[in-house]
């Protein structure tokens, strides 16, 4: 039977691990830092030495609550710590301190943008805090090295419902979450440093001849790039459908349960991982070394008040209030500072559209060169507002504004002072413009002849003469005025 009439629906849920950007680790005061010499950010506590005790990092809890509240989760007044017991060389205590039945936050949701411009709500099951493990380094054939610098780094695990149905939805979810944690300032979310890791759970619901089949859920662990995530999900959807077609009744969730596959970066595919000998039983128990976390209403309210406008709300406001396109609004809500700058400039009376054009034109280009955000290129809201106003009043033209924009970054001088010093203010004196036109025409007799004789080169040569005049005005002459005078002199 061919699958032409099959209805295939992918069901994808995701666990995202976010390393929080606290100064110190979750349960000791070692530095939380990436890339240091192996086993230098360690102490008896994170090494799990006999007799040591963990002490909770309140900042990490606060960061986690912040994420929970931003995800519209329920943040209960009481939560506790549990031990998840399993043996692994990168886990010195052979248990991980985590949260089992009473996480810091639960039952929330987040809106993700779809390609057609609509939004979709993805439900969040829970977000709980735990300690990261160290790293096993397999770069030697005879032994495994262990680096415990990462051991005990605070790790927030955000678990979604299987509400995503395609690779592009998964990408939108991952990118929305990536932006959110950076927006909230709780993590650098640097993918290269492993600050954010994805674990999608993927299976298919296939309807054939009014009968519904479910393929086994495949979990792919530890994906640390968006590319790997997209490849994994796209590949798994195809692969599972193909495998199901071979054996529709055998390749089924109720027969095979959950499976683990690994991602192979070289081929962009997932590969079968040998089933573990037994199902994991983590033998959770409440950690007697830590007191429960009491989240008082006042503390929770303070954290909630510190959140401010979230990227989605800001994007929607920009589109509604300032008429921005989705792309413009999206580009200005990568992080909060750029939009904050824009909002302040607009509050100072600048025209939104002109501000946006400046920010996303020259501003974005410079930010791109410097590999930073637009807010970080050295622009102040006062300068932005002033320059936008000068554009609106015709005091400078767009070309001059670009030059002024570059020169005012990080400097004391405002745009008007720069324009005056550089002679970039629009010249409204017709005599001066006329003089530049005369000079250009007399310096280019051949061009004048070509224009006058008409023909197909006329427009191009006119443009050349126009450029000559603009150059003489150092960009300060209003182009419409130049054109008008030029045409008049040439008798066009």
Partner 1 sequence: MTDVLGMTLTELRDEIASGSISSQQATKVYLDVVEEREPQVSAFREVLADRALTRAAEVDDERQAGKDAGPLAGVPIAVKDNLCTPFGRTTCSSKILANFKAPYMSTAVGKLVDAGAVILGKTNMDEFAMGSSTENSGFGATRNPWDLNRVPGGSSGGSATAVASRMCAAALGSDTGGSIRQPAAFCGVAGLKPTYGRVSRYGLVAYGSSLDQIGPITHDVADCALLTQVISGHDPRDSTSLTADVPDLPAAINAPPGSLRIGLPKEFYSDALDVEINAAIHKAADTLAQTGAQLVEISLPHSRIDRDAEGKLSSYAVACYYIVAMAEASSNLARYDGVHYGHRTSKDVEGIVEMYSKSRAEGFGQEVKRRIMLGNYTLSAGYYEAYYSKALKVRRLIKNDFDEAFKLCDVVLCPTTPTTAFQIGEKASDPLTMYLADIYTISVNLAGLPGLSLPCGLSAEGMPIGMQLIGPPLGEPVVLQVGRLFEQVSGISRLTPPIVERTGTN
Q: Identify which of 55, 46, 24 has the alpha carbon closest to the alpha carbon of residue 289.
A: 55
Q: For partner 1, which is the closer residue by CB, 284 or 299? A: 284
**Chain residues in the site for partner 1 (CB under 8 A):** 44, 47-56, 83, 85, 87, 89, 92-95, 281, 283-285, 288-291
Minimum CB separation of residue 147 from partner 1 in Å reads 13
Q: For partner 1, which is the closer residue by CB, 283 or 457? A: 283
Minimum CB separation of residue 161 from partner 1 in Å reads 23
Minimum CB separation of residue 330 from partner 1 in Å reads 44
Minimum CB separation of residue 148 from partner 1 in Å reads 9
CA separation for the pair 257, 215 (Å, rounded): 9
Measured CA angle at 60 (ends 54, 64), to 5 deg: 130
Minimum CB separation of residue 60 from partner 1 in Å reads 14
Q: For partner 1, which is the closer residue by CB, 278 or 429? A: 278
CA separation for the pair 91, 147 (Å, rounded): 10
Q: Identify which of 310, 234, 314 has the alpha carbon closest to the alpha carbon of residue 270.
A: 234
Specify whether the backbone of 433 is left (phi greater than 0), alpha (psi in -120 to 50) or beta: alpha
Helix (H) / strand (E) containing 213: strand 211-214
Q: For partner 1, which is the closer residue by CB, 44 or 308? A: 44
Minimum CB separation of residue 14 from partner 1 in Å reads 25
Alpha helices in 332-373 (DSSP H): 336-347, 352-358, 364-370
Q: For partner 1, which is the closer residue by CB, 247 or 289? A: 289
Q: For partner 1, which is the closer residue by CB, 47 or 365? A: 47
* CB environment 149-171: b (16+ within 10 A), e (fewer): bbbbbbbbbbbbbbbbebbebbb
Q: For partner 1, which is the closer residue by CB, 56 or 319? A: 56
- What is the number of other CB atoms lying within 10 angstroms of the CB of residue 49? 11
CA separation for the pair 481, 307 (Å, rounded): 50
Minimum CB separation of residue 139 from partner 1 in Å reads 17
* CB environment 189-201: b (16+ within 10 A), e (fewer): bebeebbbbbbbb
């Amino acid at each position: 039977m061919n699958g032409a009439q099959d209805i295939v629906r992918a069901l994808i849920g995701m666990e995202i691990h976010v390393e929080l950007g606290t100064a110190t680790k979750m349960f000791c005061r070692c530095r939380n830092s990436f890339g240091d010499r192996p086993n230098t950010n360690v102490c008896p506590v994170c090494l799990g030495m006999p007799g040591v005790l963990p002490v909770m990092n309140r900042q990490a809890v606060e960061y986690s609550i912040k994420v929970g509240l931003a995800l519209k989760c329920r943040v209960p007044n009481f939560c506790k710590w549990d031990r998840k017991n399993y043996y692994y060389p990168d886990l010195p205590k052979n248990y991980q301190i985590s949260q089992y039945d009473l996480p810091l936050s639960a039952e929330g949701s987040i809106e993700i943008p779809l390609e057609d411009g609509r939004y979709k709500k993805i439900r969040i099951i829970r977000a709980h805090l735990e300690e990261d493990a160290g790293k096993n380094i397999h770069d030697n054939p005879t032994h495994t090295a262990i680096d415990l610098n990462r051991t005990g780094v605070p790790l927030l695990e955000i678990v979604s419902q299987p509400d995503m149905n395609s690779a592009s939805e998964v990408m939108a979810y991952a990118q929305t979450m990536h932006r959110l944690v950076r927006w909230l300032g709780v993590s650098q979310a640097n993918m290269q440093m492993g600050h954010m890791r994805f674990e999608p759970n993927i299976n298919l619901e296939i309807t054939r001849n009014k009968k519904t089949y479910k393929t086994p859920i495949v979990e792919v662990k530890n994906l640390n790039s968006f590319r790997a995530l997209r490849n994994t999900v796209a590949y798994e959807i195809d692969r599972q459908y193909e495998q199901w077609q071979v054996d529709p009744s055998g390749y089924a969730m109720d027969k095979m349960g959950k499976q683990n596959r690994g991602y192979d970066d070289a081929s962009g595919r997932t590969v079968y991982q040998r089933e573990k000998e037994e199902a994991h039983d983590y033998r959770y128990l409440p950690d007697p070394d830590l007191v429960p976390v009491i989240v008082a209403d006042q503390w929770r309210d303070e954290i909630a008040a510190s959140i401010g406008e979230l990227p989605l709300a800001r994007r929607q406001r920009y589109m509604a209030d300032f008429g921005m396109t989705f792309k413009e609004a999206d580009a200005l809500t990568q992080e909060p500072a750029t939009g904050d700058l824009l909002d302040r400039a607009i509050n100072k009376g600048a025209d939104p559209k002109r501000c946006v054009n400046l920010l996303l034109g020259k501003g974005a280009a410079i930010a791109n060169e410097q590999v930073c955000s637009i807010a970080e290129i050295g622009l102040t809201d006062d300068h932005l507002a002033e320059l936008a106003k000068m554009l609106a009043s015709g005091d400078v033209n767009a070309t001059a504004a670009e030059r002024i924009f570059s020169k005012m970054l990080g400097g004391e001088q405002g745009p008007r002072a720069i324009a005056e010093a550089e002679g970039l203010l629009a010249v409204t004196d017709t005599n001066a413009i006329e003089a530049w036109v005369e000079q250009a025409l007399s310096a280019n007799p051949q061009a004048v002849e070509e224009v006058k004789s008409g023909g197909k080169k006329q427009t191009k040569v006119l443009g050349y003469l126009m450029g000559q005049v603009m150059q003489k005005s150092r960009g300060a002459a209003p182009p419409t005025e130049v054109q008008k005078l030029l045409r008049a002199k040439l008798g066009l």
